[in-house]
Structure 1
């Protein structure tokens, strides 16, 4: 019997990824908070520890705030109304004894309701308290990040105290649910925690930066991304993260800590650079931060919106096609905006396969199989470009698109191997019809 394929280089690889992920998080934090956004080499262990104590040591207030936020999002996920969507048949689970068919889990898709409740609550907080709560979040970004990392690490260890190191990283449970099945931990962490946290952090950084052109551009980008994840939640049960990936350190760490805190580094780069520039105003300083001009902001915004349109509609086309074929499609409500044209294919073409799952050959996916990854990478680049003139002289704002490019290329390779193994000759036939992966007609 052929042993299962180990991704990420097996146990040595995942150990290296875990260590590097922690080191990268704190290094990025210190670049932003202690070194003006510049890359640096620690001068001494004492200096490094002093910076970490100053910027990354959790406090009772940051622990209470973060745990309170997680609890609030969990309560919203369990109590708010939402459409019930059936996931894909889970062949690894026991058969449903009533229908004698593979089990299909139900997902209560109420993230959109939770998103708007969160936005209204934020608006009310700012209305009654001013920008003080946002500035507190901005000033405690590093302490909140450390809190999130500790929570993520503890959660992964508690979930897998008896697992091997590799299983601890990749996960041993596919569909973790708590509170009598009312809270799906993967859906909750991926949709309601990671992207909502990112938007809140970016909003706080924009307040600290004084809502200048660069911070507002990045805030708009992150709102679009977070909002898209909430309004498209009914499509998430059909993604690889929910259907295939197990609940392990990889998903826990990146959803609770990596995505929101590392992806918000550019926003805090703008905030700290803006504060430094204000402090240096009037001095003879040659490397003072300069936000994007209105014209430059509009140019980046245009590219961002085009990429967002392709990303949103490509994801919508493929997941709605799958849901329609299975009879599980649920129309989005009025709050699910922007509702973009060509988000659903009216007469899609596809290949029937011997395993039963059709392969879509029309729409954006029919032009390039991973075009949504390309659009995602372009948006990541726009996030870097949002950081003003300084990014051309600082490497930090480019760490996210660089990391994302490597990560998404690796994921695309994993997807390709899985599809080739699953579909066999049908996948070869599909690749003949859709030969390009990232850029239509070229690559």
Structure 2
């Protein structure tokens, strides 16, 4: 077999589309950044609140138009700070110690090796932030709130730059392409991701973006929002219980994700999706700039919950976290060759096993249920004065339902009749007895 024939065998032409094909891909590529800006315009002091005041909103838009749309969202200082932060994440990956783990086998027969030190990077970033605040006070760490629209622009710039670079890089010889990203349509392939694992030496860009710059920046933004509230209210001791809840929940979630970093290498993002605009924008821009909406809202709309409401919201979050982490621990233990919980399973013709008991016997994606409950808990501290702060949980429900459908289609193609048998045993997708 010639090298050309070998490449064609490894990288077959993609014949099906997701997201309604090129039109849907183009719509999301243009629409997702606009939605990110819109969340700022519809929920900010500059626009008169959340939801916005009509007069203040018109004034803000008029000022932006007079300044020029591009100049109104461009902030050189924010760009330099963001690029410095991203460089810090790269340097930390390179210099901080970490163990090497092997990913799932590739179609080439080998497996990529990944360096695990995301938690060390996160702790390092937290220590720097805490040191700055301790030495110079909370007013020294309000940058992300003060330069918010510029930070959004900086992350979008990085998302587009990386997406374009990865798309062009995928045409170099001997690249392993994603099975879903080789349609030949540039709009769709740019969006969905053409190359499976764009890398520079041992530096794997996809897994790096998945867990580091977006998640860590999300936490730093939350801390910045808490500092902005503290500056207005007279010190960290005056920060509201609602703000502390949001910061605690999201710091814990990110820390937990990075502590369990190796689990990401068995997800659909790493195993089958290419690195295109969808993943670049999602990890680099969407996560830090939309998931932090609750903390940003509480800067200009502080809310004291009291001990009873705080305890109830804590209980909701703990419930979601218990389901999320217990389900993932069952799956990870089972996939790593253990079965300490004596889970039942079925064998497939491909030689793999599908769990049919424990959390995974209740639904096919119990971890998604835990994620949704936690997302709801993160929105509850903002109260019920506006639906906009519940954007995250609303979006997350839609995202996970769509993600579950994508996973179902892939598994149906992979396991065939065995997947039908599995679905008869575990009929519910996410929420037992309901969905």
TM-score by length of 2: 0.86
- 2:397 corresponds to which of 405, 421, 427: 405
Deviations 1:400-441 (A, max 9, x none): 111111111111111111111111111111112212222234
Offset at 1:312? 1.5
- 1:377 corresponds to which of 366, 372, 376: 372
| Alignment match, 2:89 | 73
Deviations 1:89-117 (A, max 9, x none): 111xx3xxxxxxx1111111111221222
CA distance in structure 2 between the partners assigned to 1:5 and 1:308 by the alignment: 36
Is structure 2 residue 136 aligned with structure 1 residue 129?
Answer: yes
Offset at 1:380? 1.2
Q: Is the 8 A contact 1:214 1:291 kept in 2?
A: yes
Is structure 2 residue 423 aligned with structure 1 residue 431?
Answer: yes
CA distance in structure 1 between the partners assigned to 2:416 and 2:164 by the alignment: 37
- 2:204 corresponds to which of 184, 188, 193: 184
SS at match of 2:245: helix
Q: Is the 8 A contact 2:164 2:190 kept in 1?
A: yes
- 1:89 corresponds to which of 65, 87, 105: 105
SS at match of 1:90: coil
Deviations 1:189-228 (A, max 9, x none): 1111111111110111112223211111100110121011
After the TM superposition, which of the residue ranges 41-50 and 296-305 deviates more from structure 2? 41-50
| Alignment match, 2:182 | none
Deviations 1:263-310 (A, max 9, x none): 111110111223xxxxxxxxxxxxxxx432231121111111110111
Within a 5 Å distance, the mapping from 1:11-22 to structure 2 comes to: 11-22=22-33
TM-score by length of 1: 0.84
Is structure 2 residue 287 aligned with structure 1 residue 259?
Answer: yes
Q: Is the 8 A contact 2:132 2:141 kept in 1?
A: no
CA distance in structure 1 between the partners assigned to 2:387 and 2:89 by the alignment: 34
| Alignment match, 1:104 | 111
Change in Cα spacing, 1:89 to 1:54, as seen in structure 2 (3 Å) is: closer
CA distance in structure 2 between the partners assigned to 1:232 and 1:254 by the alignment: 20
CA distance in structure 2 between the partners assigned to 1:175 and 1:69 by the alignment: 23
CA distance in structure 1 between the partners assigned to 2:68 and 2:299 by the alignment: 19
Within a 5 Å distance, the mapping from 1:168-247 to structure 2 comes to: 168-178=190-200, 180-181=201-202, 183-210=203-230, 211-247=239-275
CA distance in structure 2 between the partners assigned to 1:40 and 1:90 by the alignment: 53
| Alignment match, 1:58 | 74
Q: Is the 8 A contact 1:56 1:145 kept in 2?
A: no
| Alignment match, 1:287 | none
CA distance in structure 2 between the partners assigned to 1:397 and 1:28 by the alignment: 9
Q: Is the 8 A contact 1:88 1:238 kept in 2?
A: yes
| Alignment match, 1:422 | 414
Q: Is the 8 A contact 1:303 1:382 kept in 2?
A: yes
- 2:343 corresponds to which of 334, 342, 348: 348
After the TM superposition, which of the residue ranges 40-49 and 357-366 deviates more from structure 2? 40-49
| Alignment match, 1:333 | none
Change in Cα spacing, 1:310 to 1:56, as seen in structure 2 (3 Å) is: farther
Offset at 1:38? 0.6
CA RMSD of superposed structures (Å): 2.3
CA distance in structure 2 between the partners assigned to 1:188 and 1:56 by the alignment: 31
Is structure 2 residue 165 aligned with structure 1 residue 165?
Answer: no
Q: Is the 8 A contact 1:87 1:104 kept in 2?
A: yes
SS at match of 2:310: helix
After the TM superposition, which of the residue ranges 62-71 and 308-317 deviates more from structure 2? 308-317
Offset at 1:373? 0.9
* Paired residues, number: 396
CA distance in structure 1 between the partners assigned to 2:72 and 2:105 by the alignment: 44
